[in-house]
Structure 1
Amino acid sequence: MSTLNQTRVTEFVFLGLTDNLVLEKLFFMAFSITYMLTLLGNTLIIFTTVLTARLHTPMYFFLSNLSFIDICHSSVTVPKMLEGLLLQRKTISFNSCIAQLFFLHLFACAEIFLLTIMAYDRYVAICAPLHYPSVMKMRVCVQLVFALWLGGTVHSLVQTFLTIRLPYCGPNIIDSYFCDVPPVIKLACTDTHLTGILIVSNSGTISLTCFLALVASYTVILVSLHKQSAEGRRKALSTCSAHFLVVVFLFGPCIFIYTRPDTSFSMDKVVSVFYTAVTPLLNPLIYTLRNEEVKCAMKQLRQRQAFP
């Protein structure tokens, strides 16, 4: 163990998205715009929800929490990726790598749990509308949000512990642009087969189980729509389709990455970019452009600012 301690890795080197200088500059411009739009769009949703009294409902309470998580989720990886696109040698300290890994899993897991809660909220609203006010009280919504953050924290602590318990004595090159459990544990100078299985049983099971629960809830909602009026069916389909798009774009990459230990594919970086940089932008795009109530609230806020 003394040898391992003396040669312990103190920093990791990212290979990044590409070694082509032209592509790096193009990626930098594209992802800079994507990140700014992510921050702007999600922040706008949060302020619109907070400042508009009629949006103080469970659905928009969860939506504003989703926007907050998307801001945090993208901020964990995208700034470091943008920095790496400008540098020839892309490095991160060991402690910073572990911190990035922890917060990545915290926000990703919190988003997965929140999307599951939002599906339950829509299920109650559409399938049991008379019981909705008593079932989805604001106090219950706050408790559910607290529970999802607690669950995300426990999950992230488990993932972090599985990573830092391993010895790292070289090599220190990560074939990615951010720190995540699968590429990091590959660098451990010990057998990681058991750790890989534990990762799948944790991240993979959470992603797959929540996704199946979501599919089941939306299936029940779709079956029950025949009881709704034409206008009710239109609103329900519009809301659920927006939710389901976000679900597919987040869960698809997570299931692809975290349900196969000790293997890697050439598509891993593309999939990772999608769920760390692109998916957080989809929330404001999908909800803002498709939701008339949110657009109307934003318009009124603009008028209120122009004519106080």
Structure 2
Amino acid sequence: MSSSDGAFSRWRHSEGAQGLILVSPTFLYALLLLAAPLATIVAISFWTQDYLVMIREFTLANYIRAWTEPLFQTLMLRSVVIAVIVTAATVLLAFPIAYYVSFNVRPERKALWIFLITIPFWTSYLLRVFLWKVILGYNGVLNSGLLGLGLIDEPLTFILYNANAVVITLAHAWAPFAILPIFVALEKIDRALLEAGQDLGESRFTTFLRVTLPLAMPGVVAATLIVFIPTIGDYVTPKLVGGPDGAMISNMIQLQFMKLNNGPLGAALAISGMIIVTAISLIFLWLNRRYLKVRQ
């Protein structure tokens, strides 16, 4: 056996090789089902389409139109604003729930609470959107209840088929995804650190700001990204409860691919949206690191 064969045999039985073998199937799976379609979309975004014929000639016309046309700018800005509002509302409402379960619920009952939090996962996402449509409708549950109580004289019209309905529906749909990572982060906090802070004269509020919140930031960051990234690309909810005033950039992307037969422009809009999401996410991560450094 040559020296090269011996070296390869030793490497094959090493921990690094074993780890590479274990990771390889997952890596190939991700490469085939994620990277390859993404590369295809990127390539298509630089082409043009003439009805059913794809013209494979490099052009930046799709990106120029995606970034300069007022309609696309409006939809992209609305998508970012809705996603930011949904993320902020969801995380701010999820944190107290996760905090209560972690710090106030007895250990033997925490599993029951987590079980109750995950109950919305049992129903179809589409079904939950339709239920909110019934609740927020002109003659829906909310308007009927408020009319019955005499709190309003006529049904509210600003809670359905606009951006408000999209925010409400998405915030409810993604709430469990925000609660769970925050809860996990809070569970990892050593309670002795909180007791030490109070023993040193800190109030419960200052202990929360200086100890609990910084240590829980990994969960907050995870919850923020988990909610923000898919929310900005949601097209089912805006289509069903958003109406013309609640349409987002994802609805335009679907329209370009499915109805207008302009895949290259749709691909350019999709890639542009991914660039914006990536930029906002990186800025958020940078601000979070600055916050943690200040707190240290």
TM, length-normalised to structure 1: 0.29
TM, length-normalised to structure 2: 0.30
The structure number with the bigger radius of gyration is 2
